[in-house]
Amino acid sequence: MSDVARASNRPLLDLYRTMRRIRSFEERVGEMFVRQGTAGSMLHLSIGEEGVAGVCAAMEDGDSFTTHHRGHGVFLARGGEPGRMLAEIGGKEAGYCAGKGGSMHIADMGVGHLGANAIVGGGIPHAVGAALSYKTKGIDAVSVAFFGDGAMQQGLLYESMNMAALWSLPVLFVCINNQYGMGTRIDRAAANTDFAARAEAFGLAGRHVDGSDVEMVLETAAAAMTTARSGTPGLLTMTCYRFFGHARMDKSPYRDAAEEAEGRGHDPVAAARARLLDRSEAREADLDALDAEAAQEMDAALDWALAQTQPPGAAMFDHVYAPDEPPPQPLRDRLSDVLREYR
Amino acid sequence: MTAAAQTATYREALREALADAMRADGDVIVMGEEVGLYGGAYGVTKDLIGEFGAARVLDTPISEAGIVGVAVGAAMTGLRPVAEIMYVDFAGLVMDQLGNQAAKIRYMFGGQTGVPMVLRTQGGTGRSAAAQHSQSLESWFAHVPGLRVVMPATVNDAYHLLRQALTKPDPVVFIEHKALYVSKGTLDKDKPDAPWGAPVLRRAGGDAVIVAYSRMVHEALAAAETLAERGVEAAVWDLRCLNPMDLDPILESVRACGRAAVVTESCLTGGFAAELSAQISEHCFDRLEEPVIRIAGEDVPIPVAPDLEAASIPTPGLIADAMAWLVSREAPAWA
């Protein structure tokens, strides 16, 4: 269990706060698009997947991670600052990546976020590579690859799992199984949807957890992280339900209202709230206040992000290569070079 | 040439470069299929595992995309990996990790981190290795902003360009030529042929300019020999680096004589020869006496039959014929 989780005498309340912040954040992401217009059109919300906060709480400072196109929640739970996140999502210079990456490429080396990825499964081997660095250099850290169930059908995952097991690397593969790869439900993508069972085939420690029970997620992830830290990499699958469509324009025509109602019944935030009240670990008014605080934080973050400006034109050519390296030649300069010679 | 100069093969120069880089920088690791116990499919990494151990000379499973992806993550977190992809023809398996990940991470992440890795691979014909083990795919990589691409032709460049690549902050695709591994030349560890990115004039000549890289430099030089016997003096420029690329010395050379050809083993259509030809044409337009011609590989998969394989790429005879035609308007027998 992480320092944060261990230090707290009310871990469920902390997890509830994190999950509430994630949900409030994601709601503002949707609002941002409406208020700002075009920038950052590729928005994939993690509402319904907030139980992943339990995995994040099991990580230590110094651990690193990669995420996928639906990774806002993980980043926020690992220390992402909502204003700078929203600024990045909106293509603003004040964002984490100077407005060059956006939602699907957000990263923060400061908290060990090695990058979100817009290619399904694309970031998974980077976590393995980070773990290779840790092992080679004798650094005590684990790298966690977060991805969705869609990536369970990508070959690169299995190359990565095999190498991690073969070399006994400190890696945890975390599949956030929200039941859908875009509009394709997992039973239309795989004959055997028992994804955790695939771990054993590769020599990984396999674990499965219900993502609507964040305490169980924390407990299971803490065990998986301990195992990974000792050099036995693992695969943790967390089932949940993607409450909304794949992305902004998706109205989910491929699933019916009854299924959605059932799926949204597995709400990790509501479940944690009910449990807190049931166990008298918090009062209704306290939780309402906490919810309001999260909403205010995210409102302020959104207002701040919307007030930020896009990067200046010259930033186009920054960071294609390292600062002291020959940069690309801007088109106008090149055209001037060519045409000036004849005039 | 300095006192350190010695005769070596291209393969030995590459191995020396890896070993010297690993001695100089403990973060350099070599990883790939058969790089350790086997010593490399073409022997480039022979015996490295003995000196540096299995943790730094890492034999991998046959997982090309994974090899490059793991190298990307390792490069982002403090190692400087040399990932070997045994044949450039396997590029199709790695292009996402190379073109979407390694190449773009610095940019997408707003400069927070780079990916200082070298992807070593080899290409080209010459061993009757057929369509999936003989290609020249440099244009695939050169088309991706963020990737540096170098292709050494000489023993000294094999050493120095690889050493330099292993000091660069950005991903470098380092493409060797399988037919050059046994070629011999002078290796002077104290003296690179030219700075990173600069072309080298391998032969002077005032009648026409030939631009080439990798193995085609040698074919162009052989062609220039026969051209000299026919009274035509061709300059031969070795491009060495496709990115970064300093074309200025070559443009100056073309402006002086008004005739230029680009020679590549890579097939013609959409190839790097087209890029070079276009740039030379744009910049030398009013000094050109003739169109810039491309002498490139045939637009066919590489056939296994040795005679067909040899005929599918530019030969010294073909280059000489084309250059003579370009300079003296003397049509070759096949025209």
pLDDT tens digits along A10-30: 799 999 999 999 999 999 998
* Cα dihedral B310, B311, B314, B315 sign: positive
The total number of structural domains in chain B stands at: 2
Whole-angstrom distance, CA of residue A301 vs CA of residue A94: 12
Using CA atoms, how far residue A240 sits from A116, A251, A261, in Å, is: 20, 19, 13
What is the residue range of B261's domain?
A: 200-328
How many secondary structure helices (H) and strands (E) does chain A include? 13, 7
Cis omega (within 30 of 0) on the bond before B244?
Answer: yes
Angle at B154 between CA B153 and CA B157, to 5 degrees: 95
Q: Based on the fold, state whether residues B153 and B205 are members of the same structural domain.
A: no
**Distance, CA of B146 to chain centre:** 17
Report the DSSP pairing between strands A205-210 and A143-148.
unpaired
State the best of A136, A147, A337 to mutate against chain B, taking most chain B CBs within 10 Å: A136
Q: Which amino acid is at A104?
A: M
Q: What is the pLDDT along chain B (335 residues), one digit of tens a residue?
A: 677 899 999 999 999 999 999 999 999 999 999 999 999 999 999 999 999 999 999 999 999 999 999 999 999 999 999 999 999 999 999 999 999 999 999 999 999 999 999 999 999 999 999 999 999 999 999 999 999 999 999 999 999 999 999 999 999 999 999 999 999 999 999 999 999 999 999 999 999 999 999 999 999 999 999 999 999 999 999 999 999 999 999 999 999 999 999 999 999 999 999 999 999 999 999 999 999 999 999 999 999 999 999 999 999 999 999 999 999 988 999 98
Whole-angstrom distance, CA of residue A113 vs CA of residue B102: 16
Q: Based on the fold, state whether residues B51 and B175 are members of the same structural domain.
A: yes
CATH 3.40.50.970 correct for A3-340: yes
Domain membership flag for residue B193: no
Domain membership flag for residue B295: yes
Q: Based on the fold, state whether residues B180 and B241 are members of the same structural domain.
A: no
State the best of B112, B167, B170 to mutate against chain A, taking most chain A CBs within 10 Å: B112
Nearest chain B Cα distance for residue A229, angstroms: 17
Report the DSSP pairing between strands B57-59 and B208-212.
unpaired
Q: Based on the fold, state whether residues B40 and B180 are members of the same structural domain.
A: yes
Q: Based on the fold, state whether residues B232 and B160 are members of the same structural domain.
A: no
Q: Based on the fold, state whether residues B141 and B254 are members of the same structural domain.
A: no
Question: CATH no. for residue B323?
Answer: 3.40.50.920
Among residues B12, B16, B33, B133, which one is catalytic?
B133
Q: Based on the fold, state whether residues B155 and B69 are members of the same structural domain.
A: yes
Q: What is the domain partition of chain A in residue ranges?
A: 3-340
As a residue count, chain A comes to 343
Q: Among this protein's residues, is B64 annotated catalytic?
A: yes
Q: Based on the fold, state whether residues B16 and B96 are members of the same structural domain.
A: yes
Whole-angstrom distance, CA of residue B48 vs CA of residue B20: 11
Please tell me chain A's helix, strand, coil percentages from 3-state DSSP, rounded to the nearest 5. 50, 10, 40
- Candidate from B60, B78, B197 with C-beta closest to A137: B78
Q: Does A138 touch chain B (CB under 8 A)?
A: no
Provide, as residue numbers in chain B, all residues whose Cβ is less than 8 Å from the Cβ of A68. Answer: none
Asked if B222 and B316 count as a contact pair (C-beta separation under 8 A), the reply is yes
| Closest alpha carbon within chain B to A164 | B70
Whole-angstrom distance, CA of residue B152 vs CA of residue B165: 12
Asked if B33 and B60 count as a contact pair (C-beta separation under 8 A), the reply is yes
Q: Does A341 touch chain B (CB under 8 A)?
A: yes
- Could you give the angle at which helices A284-307 and A11-36 cross, rounded to 10 degrees? 40
Among residues B33, B64, B138, B309, which one is catalytic?
B64
Provide, as residue numbers in chain A, all residues whose Cβ is less than 8 Å from the Cβ of B32. Answer: none
Angle at B167 between CA B36 and CA B45, to 5 degrees: 15
Whole-angstrom distance, CA of residue B226 vs CA of residue B316: 8
**What ipTM describes this predicted complex?**
0.96
**Distance, CA of B311 to chain centre:** 21
Tokens linked to B221: 């030089």
- Could you give the angle at which helices A11-36 and A82-89 cross, rounded to 10 degrees? 30
Domain membership flag for residue B334: no
Task: Work out the number of other CB atoms within 10 angstroms of the CB of residue A191.
Answer: 5
Domain membership flag for residue B156: yes
Q: Based on the fold, state whether residues B154 and B252 are members of the same structural domain.
A: no
Whole-angstrom distance, CA of residue B154 vs CA of residue B22: 22
Q: Based on the fold, state whether residues B166 and B232 are members of the same structural domain.
A: no
- Candidate from A100, A156, A167 with C-beta closest to B107: A100
Domain membership flag for residue B59: yes
Which residues in chain A (77-106) have CB-CB distances under 8 A to chain B? 95-101, 105
Provide, as residue numbers in chain B, all residues whose Cβ is less than 8 Å from the Cβ of A131. Answer: 73
Q: What is the four-CA torsion angle of A328, A331, A335, A336, rounded to 10 degrees? A: -80
Question: CATH no. for residue B14?
Answer: 3.40.50.970
Domain membership flag for residue B192: no
Q: What is the pLDDT along chain A (343 residues), one digit of tens a residue?
A: 444 454 466 799 999 999 999 999 999 998 887 787 766 667 899 999 999 999 999 999 999 999 999 999 999 999 999 999 999 999 999 999 999 999 999 999 999 999 999 999 999 999 999 999 999 999 999 999 999 999 999 999 999 999 999 999 999 999 999 999 999 999 999 999 999 999 999 999 999 999 999 999 999 999 999 999 999 999 999 999 999 999 878 889 999 999 999 999 999 999 999 999 999 999 999 999 999 999 999 999 999 999 999 999 999 999 999 999 999 999 999 999 999 877 6
Q: Which amino acid is at B108?
A: M
Picking from B187, B221, B246, the residue at the C-terminal end of a domain is B187
**Per-residue pLDDT, A4:** 47
* Cα dihedral B66, B72, B77, B78 sign: positive
Using CA atoms, how far residue B158 sits from A42, B8, B12, B174, in Å, is: 44, 11, 9, 9
Domain membership flag for residue B131: yes
Q: Based on the fold, state whether residues B171 and B294 are members of the same structural domain.
A: no
Kindly give, in sequence order, each residue whose CB lies less than 8 Å from that of residue B118, ignoring residues fewer than 6 positions away: B80, B81, B82, B83, B162, B165, B166, B168, B171, B172, B174
| Closest alpha carbon within chain A to B280 | A338
Tokens linked to B203: 């032969």
**Per-residue pLDDT, B319:** 98
- Candidate from B65, B107, B148 with C-beta closest to A156: B65
Asked if A67 and A146 count as a contact pair (C-beta separation under 8 A), the reply is yes
Domain membership flag for residue B194: no
Q: Based on the fold, state whether residues B171 and B214 are members of the same structural domain.
A: no
Picking from B131, B157, B187, the residue at the C-terminal end of a domain is B187
Picking from B140, B155, B187, the residue at the C-terminal end of a domain is B187
**Per-residue pLDDT, A43:** 87
Whole-angstrom distance, CA of residue B325 vs CA of residue B335: 10
